[in-house]
A and B are shown apart, each in its own frame.
Chain A
Amino acid sequence: MLDAIDFTLVNWSRAQFALTAMYHWIFVPLTLGLGILIAIMETLYVKTGNEDWKKVTKFWMVLFGINFAIGVATGIILEFEFGTNWSNYSWFVGDIFGAPLAIEGIFAFFMESTFIAIMFFGWKKVSKKTHLAATWLTAIGANLSALWILVANAWMQYPVGMQFNPDTARNEMVSFWDVLFSKVAVFKFLHTTSSGFVLAAIFIIGISAWFILKGRHLAFARKSIAVAAIFGFVASIYVAFTGDSSARGVAHEQPMKFASFEGLYNGSEGAGLIALGFMSTTNTDPSNENLMDMNMKIEIPNILSYLAYLNWNAFVPGVNDLVYGNAKYGIMSSEEKMKRGRVAIAKLREFKDAKKSGNTELASQLKTEFMSPDFQKNYFKYFGYGYISDPNFLIPNVPLTFYSFHTMVILGFYFILFFFLAFLFVIRGKLVKKKGFLRLAIWTIPLAYIAQQAGWIVAEVGRQPWVIQDLMPTMAAVTKISSSTVQVTFWMFFVIFTLLLIAELKIMFRQIKIGPKMDGGNK
């Protein structure tokens, strides 16, 4: 089914997609959260009639606009890259995957891009309430667009609501609601958007802290921090809860990814959670560079079993159990899955050949066999494994996944504490005096961005080699094109994104330096 695989091409295509996604994800979370925070601030303006709130709103709106523009620029590529770089994927699952992208455009993007015009330019053209509605609709539009793209992403990690059609050689949708409301999609959406809220709240607190340390715009900074601290505190707790539910979904549907989160090579009952750990630099298994022991770890017993299966003594499979199988716990070996996958691919090939040669009777018989529930459950389910020749290829980059996951989780808990302190200092009116905390607030901004990027590394590196879990590995999804072509576009996008990022940061820093236009000068 596949010609010889060009791994240079696969890696460059992955690099280009990762580049675009990671650049895009620098800007999107801020848009998601800042949009809502601006809408809250403007609501306070409309409710109280206090002009200061309008000025607070307008200042953050300027930063929103600068960030939004580059988010749009990096976003357009992502949608089209599914076609340009992953054309086999686009056909194999386009019947399902295209729908959320189209809905995103029709409902979310238009809402966002239409009302943003009123939000920025309509202050004197519409009434206060209409303007407020436009600001909320812009924020909701941004979050709705996140919903649909995350539904699409969740489907790749947990393909549901579909059926393979051998005639067209693709998967076809059979339940729209299963795709939209899959447990993975729901938690992915809630976790990802609320993490954006956290980042935006930290962004506001950090920048406001800088104003306080400089002794400028104190009233503005206090107002901004008050809103952001409350919002951020609630959002950060919510992120922890949805993260927990997301991880449980991963434990059930993507056990290899879950094992990589924890660097768990050999599964056990009553598995402990590694709160902190450092991996060895030497390989335990010379055939796979990802298999490494922990040099040092702080482990909390039984917690991992409980988090994954809500049972303190449940068995959590490790990488080795998933690769080599574990008869005691009914885990099939990868070799067996690969064998079954090859049977499924061969059957499809046979069907296609029979069809091509005009042997309709044989074709019809093969199709019936292919579509039988038994074949679907025992063979087609492992279709993607048929492309794999070495079981070690099924192991993602464990160290990268492990460190990214732990960085994200540790920072997540730190953010809860951070917001709690910010909230406490605000209500006690001591914020201005807490110089150390204010400095910490500034340095927390980059940490929030690191947590965001780490989250996506966990989600995307942890699921390798799958582009669609168990059904299609990355190498089978790629567009057949010369790797040098992809290298050229990779560098083209890299250069322009980097230039634009520098421009964005410089403009953003200058606007912050200029500060809000508040009455009473700097006070």
Chain B
Amino acid sequence: MFGSLSHLALQEYWWVLVSLLGSLFVFLTFVQGGQTLLYTVGKTETERTMLVNSLGRKWELTFTTLVTFGGAFFASFPLFYSTSFGGAYWVWALILFSFIIQAVSYEYRSKPANFLGAKTYEIFLILNGALGTILIGTAVGTFFNGAMFSLNDMNQVNWATSTRGLEAVLTFHNVALGLSVFFLSRVLGALYFMNSVDSQAIFDRSKKQIIYNTIPFLVFFLYFLIRLVTKQGFAVDANGVVSMEGFKYLHNLIQMPLVLIILLLGVIGVLYGIFISIFKNSGKGIWFSGSGTVFAVLALFFLAGFNGTAFYPSIYDLQSSLTIQNASSSHFTLTAMSYVSLGVPFVLAYIWWVWKVMNTKKIDEAEMLEEDSHAY
């Protein structure tokens, strides 16, 4: 089945899959956003415990999606893996560091004799929430603004700056995406609290936080989007030669109307979720804003990689830029992995089922006080 597809078709298929994983990850950063709201939404110890426990049942899903995103990128576009991870060393090292401290914090926070104290683990969660989202968003920003690397003819990477990727923060357009992801994750976190915690006080405070965080999110995201469609982009011709093209991403939107529709659906979904939460006191906003996030991020990935665009451009050596064609795995590997990907719907199905089972009843104070419950 997959074996008869052209190499390009497989590369496109895998770009869609990697994009989907990236989009699901951004939706699932409601965990990170929620972590940064622990002290603003939770005012008492019990409230914070409820918030931590509601997020604690989902954090591994976000974490696993990130790990799988990395693995899938490695398997399908290994040149990106070796170039970006090896090159932008500091960015990835800091992102990883922020996820190390997250992984233990849920389990250790409320355990007796936890050595560092509950507060430290809560600070770890907040750090992960802020650093993880801002840095990942900024790193993805380089998909549109480029990075400082060159590749030799053996495809070995040479990074041109000693700051090893941290220079991405000097481009405000990258940072704007980082901050958009950060504020969006906080909006999603608050929406998730409204959906999963049974407490009027938490519901009301979450609602307030949605308003406070939607405003900066919209400012940064709109800036990012407007700048994106008006800036030059990295075009690739049929021979693989990379050149700068004015309004490249706008052209991509026009030439790929489906992507434009996905982007609009995404934006509308995010805004509708926020709208019904604020004005209709609905707890279901997370589903609309969450789906909207998936659509919007998917559209951004498509803009970066499709329609003759270099998805990881080099501003140091333009011809070293990575495209889905020059960075991908072989036809054989992509075929084998495509068969593996047939299992993904099955995985999504059981995740959905477990989510439903676990969230049927909202988390409440009584559950936290149960003596033999496994609470964080």
Does B bind A?
yes
- Which residues on A are within 8 Å of B, measured CB to CB? 1, 58, 61-62, 65-66, 68-70, 72-77, 79-80, 82-91, 94-99, 101-107, 109-118, 120-123, 125-126, 165, 168-170, 172-174, 176, 352, 355-356, 479-482, 485, 489, 492-493, 496-497, 499-500, 502-504, 506-507, 509-511, 514, 517
Let me know if B336 and A173 touch, CB within 8 A: yes
Interface of A is mostly: helix
- Rounded to whole angstroms, the CA-CA distance of A104 and B343 in the bound complex is 12
Contact residue among B67, B83, B108 (Cβ-Cβ distance under 8 Å from A69)? B108
Given contacts A168-B330, A496-B97, 13 further A-B contacts (CB under 8 A): A61-B374, A68-B107, A72-B103, A76-B63, A98-B71, A98-B333, A103-B340, A106-B340, A113-B64, A173-B333, A352-B154, A480-B157, A507-B111
**What are 12 inter-chain pairs, A to B, with CB distance below 8 A?**
A69-B107, A69-B108, A94-B329, A95-B330, A96-B333, A97-B74, A102-B75, A104-B71, A106-B72, A113-B61, A481-B86, A506-B113
Let me know if B103 and A125 touch, CB within 8 A: no
Residues of B within 8 A of A97 (CB): 74
- B207 on the interface (CB 8 Å rule)? no
- Rounded to whole angstroms, the CA-CA distance of A66 and B69 in the bound complex is 26
The 8 closest A-B pairs by CB, nearest first: A87-B86, A94-B78, A83-B85, A105-B68, A98-B75, A98-B74, A73-B103, A113-B60
Given A84-B92, A126-B357, A503-B104, A102-B337 contact (CB < 8 Å) = yes
Residues of B within 8 A of A352 (CB): 153-154
- Rounded to whole angstroms, the CA-CA distance of A69 and B125 in the bound complex is 14
- Rounded to whole angstroms, the CA-CA distance of A80 and B68 in the bound complex is 11
- B114 on the interface (CB 8 Å rule)? yes
Residues of A within 8 A of B111 (CB): 66, 507, 510-511
Residues of B within 8 A of A126 (CB): 357
Let me know if B71 and A105 touch, CB within 8 A: yes
Let me know if A107 and B157 touch, CB within 8 A: no
Contact residue among B340, B351, B361 (Cβ-Cβ distance under 8 Å from A102)? B340
Q: Which residues in window 328-364 of B have CB below 8 A to A?
A: 329-330, 332-333, 336-337, 340-341, 343-344, 347, 350-351, 354, 357-358, 360-361
Let me know if B332 and A94 touch, CB within 8 A: no
Tell me the minimal C-beta distance from B244 to chain A in angstroms.
24
Let me know if B154 and A169 touch, CB within 8 A: yes
Let me know if A507 and B108 touch, CB within 8 A: yes
- B257 on the interface (CB 8 Å rule)? no
B103-119 to A contact mask, C-beta < 8 Å, 1/0: 11011100111111000
- B287 on the interface (CB 8 Å rule)? no
- Rounded to whole angstroms, the CA-CA distance of A1 and B64 in the bound complex is 37
Contact residue among A90, A106, A120 (Cβ-Cβ distance under 8 Å from B78)? A90
- B45 on the interface (CB 8 Å rule)? no
Residues of B within 8 A of A115 (CB): 354
Chain B contact residue count (CB 8 A cutoff): 76
Let me know if A117 and B157 touch, CB within 8 A: no
Interface of B is mostly: helix
- B6 on the interface (CB 8 Å rule)? no
- Rounded to whole angstroms, the CA-CA distance of A293 and B344 in the bound complex is 56
Residues of B within 8 A of A88 (CB): 82, 86, 156
Given A83-B81, A173-B330, A121-B374 contact (CB < 8 Å) = yes
Q: Which residues in window 35-90 of B have CB below 8 A to A?
A: 57-58, 60-61, 63-64, 66-72, 74-76, 78-79, 81-87, 89-90
Tell me the minimal C-beta distance from B92 to chain A in angstroms.
5
Let me know if A84 and B114 touch, CB within 8 A: no
- Rounded to whole angstroms, the CA-CA distance of A170 and B328 in the bound complex is 12
- B173 on the interface (CB 8 Å rule)? no
Let me know if B89 and A481 touch, CB within 8 A: yes
- B155 on the interface (CB 8 Å rule)? yes
- Rounded to whole angstroms, the CA-CA distance of A317 and B172 in the bound complex is 62
B179-200 to A contact mask, C-beta < 8 Å, 1/0: 0000000000000000000000
Given A91-B82, A352-B153, A121-B358 contact (CB < 8 Å) = yes
- Rounded to whole angstroms, the CA-CA distance of A152 and B195 in the bound complex is 41
- Rounded to whole angstroms, the CA-CA distance of A106 and B71 in the bound complex is 9
CB closest chain-B residue, reference A89: B82
Residues of B within 8 A of A493 (CB): 97, 100
Tell me the minimal C-beta distance from B69 to chain A in angstroms.
8
Let me know if A87 and B374 touch, CB within 8 A: no
- B93 on the interface (CB 8 Å rule)? yes
Residues of A within 8 A of B116 (CB): 499, 503
Given A98-B71, A118-B358, A121-B57, A83-B155 contact (CB < 8 Å) = no
Let me know if B112 and A507 touch, CB within 8 A: yes
Residues of B within 8 A of A76 (CB): 63, 66-67, 96, 99-100, 103
Let me know if A110 and B64 touch, CB within 8 A: yes
Let me know if A65 and B374 touch, CB within 8 A: yes
CB closest chain-B residue, reference A482: B162
CB closest chain-B residue, reference A137: B350
- B101 on the interface (CB 8 Å rule)? yes
Residues of B within 8 A of A69 (CB): 103-104, 106-108
Let me know if A99 and B82 touch, CB within 8 A: no
- Rounded to whole angstroms, the CA-CA distance of A74 and B354 in the bound complex is 26
Contact residue among B84, B93, B336 (Cβ-Cβ distance under 8 Å from A176)? B336
Let me know if B70 and A80 touch, CB within 8 A: yes
Let me know if B60 and A168 touch, CB within 8 A: no
Q: Which residues in window 138-183 of B have CB below 8 A to A?
A: 153-159, 162, 164
Contact residue among B83, B86, B104 (Cβ-Cβ distance under 8 Å from A85)? B86
Let me know if B358 and A122 touch, CB within 8 A: yes
Residues of A within 8 A of B99 (CB): 73, 76
